[in-house]
Structure 1
């Protein structure tokens, strides 16, 4: 073999390279990495990687670099709405992190293969599982592009779609941080319109934590993962409720992706083994605000109540005020704000635990947090800014940000007492003595009497605090939630004697109280919708509110069945239909409400369908056009379209026999609007044979259909 001398090598290195026969059409980065270039200036690949985009000699001197993020952050949101959303917000310090091998590399490779000339042969070479996932991703991305609106807030709306396809333990979280200005806007929205339901954060502290995250990113330092999880949890809840009015499907998708990022931050921070206050706040915010959503399965286990309790116990939150910890705080001069925050978080967990123990479901008649196993003082009734200065609680008559939480806790304590007094009877299939029901009724009324005046609906209180409601609208909204919570529990307490009370004078009190409380629940919902300040977000999107409305409507519906020949029967029917219209409007405004109402309607129709026509009447039922049916037909144009209702009807609610059921079903459109179904049930109420145990089971199943977030 001929040897090559050193001189020949030098000469070959100095010789000019042969020019290509045609100018390249892709930028240098895309040619180097063998990527498909869109030939923009700069191209999308360079935008994604925030690198210089250079097309070489044929465009000599022309290069486009992406401006630093610090220059684009302050640009007004509307100026950037028309720009193509970036799928990744790249941070230069990502190169400093050792990146794990992307588990979706086969997906990305298959996606590139489909873009080459021989793409029609690719499907046979790509595994079926990869083809299915690629198809799903394309459908999701297409859906997002169809629903992009100015209120989407940032290019993150597209970028988040990629996040959940990655491994939560390795996803690069700083890449998905939206601009600071937009995060602060979402944070302010959360504080103004969501925090009043569950006061889980101290706003000025969280604001400092958010600023710290962005300072760490700017200085190429490690971010605090627990605080980052809290940031993404606030983003998830704020985005969901902000976008509901414009594109509910898009709101749910974007919120789920932000939830995935919050869970990823917790996983990367090893939250289960090393829990933190910020991590607990993040999980509780998502668990409360988005508890009825279909959360990403890879992180959903982090956002369930039993996980909250477990992590709080690991941090010894149930012993905050034990002698040992009090002595330790005295010797070390512990942060009083942190101690008060721990009390608030623990009591929120206990309150939720005791409230749902008095709701049907797998947790019915039991609770996890035992009062004998905790040493935690009630949170102070003071403003957040005064925690460091005031060590004594203000009277409950003084309105603060904690007033609602304290009233809610008092209701939860009574619910716990109800479970303690009645669980033995229910678990052993025995009837609760009526004297116990009356004693527990007095406890509920006593607690209701202790509600401060600014949480009351009487005319004197509303006039006295009208200025306060204008200045602090959250107090007016909390007033509605407090009152609805108490009256719905009264309905539930007397549920087992409600039907019997319509026949037997000994239990007539239960019948009267149930009707009064049901009407009060519906009246409060009307006030939420009509009175100033108007509820924000709309009360129809809050499932706890609509769950109580549905149960109240069913109580009134059952009462119509017992009083079908009453002189006020038509007024009672119109009362039920008015509640039905509330449910119809809620279906239009929230996917959560739509799913919950559809599930409960399925149970209601199942029970109604199997009711028997009483043979003692000896007559086939006639179906004249009643006022309720006419009203429903007149208002149909104001209701949802059948496709959005989600309900299906294969037969009228009542019929003499199965053959007529099938014949009638063939003549009816399917599915029926919600109000038409309720109108049919009202029209057939005179022909229903009522059986007390069956109706009690109906109310139990309705509560069990979907648990509201209290």
Structure 2
């Protein structure tokens, strides 16, 4: 930016016309000064200005013509084999000095040329112009005041630098263990750059502003104000700041997409905003949109061939900054790919489908920031103490199992019944092997948890990582076997599916019994609970189905108690989690719709999850008039044996249960 552009807009009129506010012809001398016989003076000579403009335009056109000519020469030099010759020509071309491959990006010179020709290169503006958001620095209490008064979100307010550093600390402590897509030193350096630009009244890079706002929003959600009141002093203030910066981040992301084709910072911002949307709204349309945009950006940035060798030759050695950039891109890509594959086995519009195909991926598995990586498909070593990539590697392994399940298991129950049952057993074996091969600090058995206690003092994120891995794995194992749960009479082999279903459902529900850490903030406890509400919802449905369908089972009383305790656990969670409240309400509505009579304990106390008191027992009753059907709530002592006769009297077909499960499983939480 020139010195004059910082002071004000460039002046084109002569001094006389400016003084008299006349329309100047902008030539020397101008028509007004000539007719008045006075001296015509310009601050900048029109001839010099036109020469500069024409020279800049000529240079841009010349550069574009050179690129076109280079592509034409490479294509036409050997007309018989253009596809084979073009890579060789581009490899040895030295026009404008770019290397054949941009180290650390996976892009070739041909990619740059095509980006330029198609106007897709980062930084190329579209033909449409958009107003850039304005940014300023305000104290967090000034921001809270503007939020309370419903003031406009323009200009966008960022916290003071010291508060920003506190938010970065919160991100590293609470978010980075499960979302390791940000390099610590890089984000801190970028934060300094952004705040220096604000202090000097310079415009911000849109993608950097979007990433910083998304990070502030997610960090504020988990901020522990009792340790450091630098940002906020109450949980409510943290939540309001998180919502404000989340709204501003969406605005900044939108502007960044309008200003450029996409950058790594844009991708990281979408990843962080998918977490913000999830913790605020659950599996909402906004969250799905963030993930879909992240998938789109991985393709736009060509991250799917990040470690490919375009000309059959190994990439040149990279310096430290290039290694960091390359590893950050690997982590971002694999995080997006793993998330998409995992969610292809969850109910919702994305169920049964994914966009990133492993055959199209040429990206090494993430390692550390020193260049140590794993080849795709290799058995990565998860042993030893955890690091920033340990959780991501475990997540990727589970995602591959989910992708395989999506490819193999049809969505329609009738087609599942026609496929060989051995396929289900094989997949189940892979899930069990995955759980058995997890490092001890990710396993849920008592011995492993006791062994990991010393590590948890140094790595407090282990508890959350284990919480997510166990519930995500066993909920998907539940879904794998669920449709065989009701068909024990048709094939004796399905008894194994029932056992697997109940075993995994108990692991998911038992995850709530793990005590919170002493330093856990209410927001962290809520986030951990919301992380697995969907999985717990599914596990409760499985227990209810088994309770109501397998009437002759000797362990029926035990399962009835487990159903009551699980529903009570969900009710307890409603005090801190809106997702749990929606889950419980969804269960009530669907069970009532299908006339399922299930007693519900709504208060479970004690660390052992023993029943200590009853606030109410919900008895769902079928009405003769379905339009007037209502659920009645009765306050009475709870007896786990009560009302099971009502359940036994119901005569549900397997198709009825399939419809019930589909209704319960697809309810938006």
TM-score interval (norm. to shorter): 0.5 to 0.7
The offset of 1:679, in angstroms, is: 10
Match of 2:467 among 480, 501, 515: 480
Please name the residue that 1:653 is paired with.
620
Which whole-Å CA distance do the structure 1 matches of 2:172 and 2:224 have between them? 17
Please name the residue that 1:364 is paired with: 351
CA distance in 1, matches of 2:627, 2:371: 71
- CA deviations 1:326-366 (Å, max 9, x no partner) are 96952875701101111111111111111111122222222
Aligned twin of 1:416: 403
Structure 2 unaligned spans of 5+: 1-128, 134-138, 227-232, 606-610
Aligned to 1:199: 180
Contact map agreement 2:413 2:483 (CA 8 A) in 1? no
Q: 2:155 aligns with which of 155, 172, 175?
A: 172
Contact 2:211/2:249 (8 A) holds in 1: yes
Deviations 1:268-320 (A, max 9, x none): 3345742111121111111134236459x9x9599522211111211111110
What residue number does 2:244 align with?
A: 257
Instruction: Name the residue aligned to 2:267.
Output: 280
Q: Is the 8 A contact 1:190 1:237 kept in 2?
A: yes
Corresponding position: 1:388 with 2:370: yes
Distance in structure 1 (CA, Å) of the matches to 2:213 and 2:406 = 36
Alignment of 1:334-353 (within 5 A): 335-353=322-340
Match of 2:49?
none
Q: Distance in 1 between matches of 2:592 and 2:639?
A: 9
| Among candidates 215, 227, 241, match of residue 208 of structure 2 | 227
Higher helix proportion (structure 1 or 2): 1
- The answer to whether the Cα contact below 8 Å between 1:160 and 1:257 also exists between their aligned partners in 2 is yes
Pick closer, same or farther for the CA change 1:570–1:608 going to 2, 3 Å: same
Aligned residue in 1 for 2:297: 311
The answer to whether the 8 A contact 1:574-1:628 is kept is: no
Offset from partner CA, 1:462-504 (integer Å, 9 cap, x none) = 3333211221121232122212222111111001101213775
CA distance in 1, matches of 2:298, 2:150: 28
Q: Contact (CA 8 Å) 1:365, 1:419: kept in 2 or not?
A: yes
Distance 1:291 1:402 in 2: 22
- C-alpha distance in 2 between matches for 1:369 and 1:101: 33
> Does the aligned pair in 2 maintain the 1:284–1:303 contact within 8 Å?
no
Structure 2 CA distance for aligned equivalents of residues 541 and 567 of structure 1: 35
8 Å contact from structure 1 (residues 154, 182) kept in 2: no
Contact kept? 1:490, 1:513, Cα under 8 Å: yes
Residue 602 of structure 1: aligned partner: 589
**Uncovered stretches (5+) of structure 1, i.e. residues with no partner:** 1-97, 103-151, 612-622, 643-648
Correspondences of 1:559-638 after superposition (within 5 Å): 559-563=546-550, 568-608=555-595, 635-637=613-615
- Structure 2 counterpart SS, 1:154: helix
- Secondary structure of residue in 2 paired with 1:304: helix
Match of 2:658 among 684, 688, 696: 696
1:452: Cα distance to partner?
A: 1.7
Q: Is the 8 A contact 1:318 1:375 kept in 2?
A: yes
Matched, 1:324 2:322: no
Residue 383 of structure 2 corresponds to residue 397 of structure 1: yes
User: 1:552 aligns to what?
Assistant: 539
Q: Please, what TM-score do these two structures have when normalized by structure 1?
A: 0.64
Task: Provide the secondary structure at the position in 2 that maps to 1:265.
Answer: helix
- Contact between 1:495 and 1:696, CA under 8 Å: does it hold in 2? no
When the two structures are superposed, what TM-score results if normalisation uses the length of structure 2? 0.67
Cα distance change, pair 441–627 in 1 and its aligned pair in 2 (3 A): closer
* SS of 1:500 mapped into structure 2: coil
Q: 1:457 to 1:222 in 2, by over 3 A?
A: same
